[in-house]
Amino acid sequence: MTSRTSPSHEPTFRESVDIMFKRAVPLAGLSEGLAEKIRVCNSTYTVRFGVRLRGTIHTFTGYRSVHSEHMEPVKGGIRYATNVHQDEVEALAALMTYKCALVEAPFGGSKGGLRIDPDEWEEHELEQITRRFTYELAKRSLISPSQNVPAPDMGTGEREMAWIADQYRRMNTTDINASACVTGKPAHAGGIKGRTEATGRGVQYALREFFRHPEDVATTGLSGDLDGKRIIVQGLGNVGYHAAKFLSEEDGAVIQGIIERDGGIWNADGLDVDDVRRWIGEHRGVAGYPEATHVADGASLLTEECDILIPAALEGVINLGNAHHIKAPLIIEAANGPVTSGANDILRERGVVIIPDMYANAGGVTVSYFEWVKNLSHIRFGRMQRRAEEARQNLIVSELERLDAYLGDHWSMTPHFKQKYLQGSDELELVRSGLDDTMRTAYQAMREVWHGRDDLDDLRTAAYLVAIERIAMSYRAKGL
């Protein structure tokens, strides 16, 4: 289902990203030279290293690609999967450059990958492999708080990030900023509250922002808000799980379909996302889940009737083979590159609205940015101002209480107002507020271009245009 197994005339993931980039370039009015400088991937480092495990030496292949260093450090996740390859890592690194520019995270783009099936190894073995991979990258400054800061991606999470941070620290014992060498760490190991959920939370905030604009919603033929919207999600991993959970629990959306590696499950009345996640944890797949119908060909659910389709697993899943059959009027790309450039053209012509990956899944890098800032400032957000904020609010509440007593039955404070108002913002609240603000601001920048120009008609080209113009400005400021 990846770009490699797509029909032969389907471009690779890397080519798809380039095609979409090149569509926006003429609209930005850049010189050919500058456009080419922005497009190309600066470098890709391939490393092969051996680790002695189970009595023999196993050789692993890893990559770290740096797409653009117009801002440093460069930033991007590390993926663990058997099919990781150079083309994929370079495409993902390019998307990181554009994504960071779009959400104004001050980083260049990078991405890494290790060819491995994490399920094949015990935890202590994975730790050994991760530490060795970290060593190989860190000694070339491909992991460094000031030059290259990885984060989780498919197949990796908090655990791997904690190992990376610890390994880097052991190699750089006098670096006071060592914990800023990687983001997505657990809260107890220098992480930030809300990072694990951040990408899925960002998908929710992106959809909320989209549905705040009735004229945008109208382009899909839908109306109203997220309440009752029928959703199909592919991939119930970190991103898909959190997006589906928040959208169903907090916005009233109905998760009718979930697609996983071993097929898809369907329930028109809605699936309990936490329950499905528990089932997957226990049974290593969705098959047999009692509250739904199972289909062995999970990908067939992508073309089922629904309001919103959320591909949140891997790239190239919506391609020339199925784009004509997609029925959802709105796709939000929670995964990176789930729609190939060929499919993108077909869907655009058919009027399907796509909220593009570089915006839709930018919640992860946004909160990673906050974590990096927290690590460099060596203080948790809210620590200085929270109680001062509470004390000031207390003054207002005391005055309101006096008024309450004075007005008797004519007026009283709303229940829980006092408790809610007095509570100063803790780190999680601040992170969510910063993420929400980022997702709203970036959407508005995109939609201004989407509606404001008559030479483009889709959000993806608008997103590229915003990103390219910002990167070009940064290059120009450097004298290029």
Taking Cα atoms as reference points, which of 209, 445, 226, 216 lies closest to residue 353?
216
Q: Which is nearer to ligand NAD, 217 or 321 (CB)?
A: 321
- Give the span between the Cα atoms of 450 and 471, in whole angstroms: 19
Shortest CB 91 distance to ligand NAD, Å: 10
**H or E stretch including 47?**
strand 43-53
332 — phi, psi (to 5°)?
A: -115, 120
Tokens at 109, concatenated: 């783009």
Q: Which is nearer to ligand NAD, 239 or 355 (CB)?
A: 239
Of 75, 99, 111, 185, which residue is the catalytic one?
A: 111
- Give the span between the Cα atoms of 187 and 194, in whole angstroms: 9
How far is residue 252 from each of residues 174, 226, 255, measured CA to CA in Å? 50, 7, 9
- Look-up of token digits 């399920």: 119
- For residue 414, give the DSSP letter: P
**H or E stretch including 391?**
helix 386-407
Q: Which is nearer to ligand NAD, 191 or 222 (CB)?
A: 191
**H or E stretch including 247?**
helix 238-251
Sheet containing strand 148-152, edge to edge, reads 43-53, 56-68, 108-115, 74-81, 148-152
Shortest CB 260 distance to ligand NAD, Å: 5
* Count of Cβ atoms closer than 10 Å to residue 451 Cβ: 14
Burial class (CB in 10 A: 0-12, 13-18, 19+), 421: middle
Q: Which is nearer to ligand NAD, 64 or 386 (CB)?
A: 64
Shortest CB 180 distance to ligand NAD, Å: 17
- Give the span between the Cα atoms of 444 and 446, in whole angstroms: 5
Asked if residue 137 lies in contact with residue 143, where contact means CB atoms within 8 angstroms, the answer is yes
Tokens at 305, concatenated: 């009737």
- Look-up of token digits 């292949």: 61
Q: Which is nearer to ligand NAD, 239 or 472 (CB)?
A: 239
Half-sphere exposure of 315 (CA within 13 A, CB side): 30
Q: Which is nearer to ligand NAD, 47 or 312 (CB)?
A: 312
* In 213-253, beta strands by DSSP E: 230-234
Q: Which is nearer to ligand NAD, 1 or 442 (CB)?
A: 1
Residue nearest to ligand NAD (CB): 237
Shortest CB 432 distance to ligand NAD, Å: 15
- Look-up of token digits 């915006």: 359
In the residue annotation, 229 being an active-site residue is answered as no
* Count of Cβ atoms closer than 10 Å to residue 53 Cβ: 16
Taking Cα atoms as reference points, which of 52, 51, 50, 77 lies closest to residue 63?
77
Shortest CB 116 distance to ligand NAD, Å: 13
Q: Which residues bind ligand NAD (CB under 6 A)?
A: 1, 77, 152-155, 199, 234-240, 259-261, 298, 312-314, 334-336, 361, 364
Q: Which is nearer to ligand NAD, 77 or 342 (CB)?
A: 77
Shortest CB 269 distance to ligand NAD, Å: 22
Catalytic residues: 111
